[in-house]
Amino acid sequence: MNFTAHNDEIRKTMLDEIGLSKIEDLFSHLPVKMKELNLSNPLSEMEAQKAVKALSKKNNTDYITFVGGGCYNKFIPAAISQVANRVEFLTAYTPYQPEISQGTLQIMYEYQSMICMLTGMDVANASVYDGGSACAEAISMACRISKKTKVLVSNKLNPDYKAVIKTYTWGSGVNVEWFDEVPADTTDYACVLVQNPDYYGEITELSKPDTLLIVCTTPDSLSVIKPPVEADIVVGDIQTLGIPMSMGGPHAGFMACKEKYTRQLPGRLAGKTLDADGNTAYTLTLQTREQHIRREKATSNICSNQALIALSSTLYLSLLGEKGFRQAGIMSFNNAHSLSEKLGKIGIKTVTKNFYNEFVINVDNSDKFLNKLKENNILGGIKLDDNRILVSATEMNTQDEIDKYIEIVG
Residuewise pLDDT in 10s, the chain (410 residues): 456 778 999 999 999 999 999 999 999 888 877 778 888 899 999 999 999 999 999 888 889 999 999 999 999 999 999 999 888 887 766 666 666 788 889 999 999 999 999 999 999 999 999 999 999 999 999 999 999 999 999 999 999 999 999 999 998 899 999 999 999 999 999 999 999 999 999 999 999 999 999 999 999 999 999 999 999 999 999 999 999 999 888 999 999 999 999 999 998 889 999 999 999 999 888 776 656 666 667 777 666 778 899 999 999 999 999 999 999 999 999 999 999 999 999 999 999 999 999 999 999 999 999 999 999 999 999 999 999 999 999 999 999 999 999 999 99
Dist CA 277 CA 268 (whole Å): 26
| Phi, psi at 330, each rounded to 5° | -65, -40
The kind and range of the H/E element at 362 are strand 358-362
| Amino acid at the residue 294 | R
Burial class (CB in 10 A: 0-12, 13-18, 19+), 32: exposed
Identify the CATH assignment for 64-76+321-409 out of 3.40.50.410, 3.40.228.10, 3.40.50.150, 3.90.1150.10: 3.90.1150.10
What is the CA angle 165-105-292, rounded to 5?
A: 60
- H/E run at residue 191: strand 191-195
Q: How far apart are alpha carbons 155 and 178 in whole angstroms?
A: 6
Range(s) of the chain covered by CATH 3.40.640.10: 79-315
**Which segments of the chain belong to CATH 3.90.1150.10?**
64-76+321-409
| Among 24, 27, 30, CA closest to 11 | 24
Give pLDDT tens digits for 157-205.
999 999 999 999 998 899 999 999 999 999 999 999 999 999 999 999 9
Closest CA to 130 of 296, 251, 17: 251
Q: Note whether 352 and 382 are within 8 A (CB).
A: no
> What's the CA gap between 341 and 403, in Å, rounded?
11
Sign of CA dihedral 308, 251, 174, 192: positive
Rounded CA-CA distance 335/359 in Å is 12
Residue 44 is predicted with a pLDDT of 96
Q: Which CATH number fits domain 79-315: 1.10.287.470, 3.40.50.970, 3.30.70.100, 3.40.640.10?
A: 3.40.640.10
| Predicted confidence (pLDDT) per residue in 245-303, tens digit | 998 889 999 999 999 999 999 988 899 999 999 999 998 887 766 566 666 677 776 66
Residues across the chain: 410
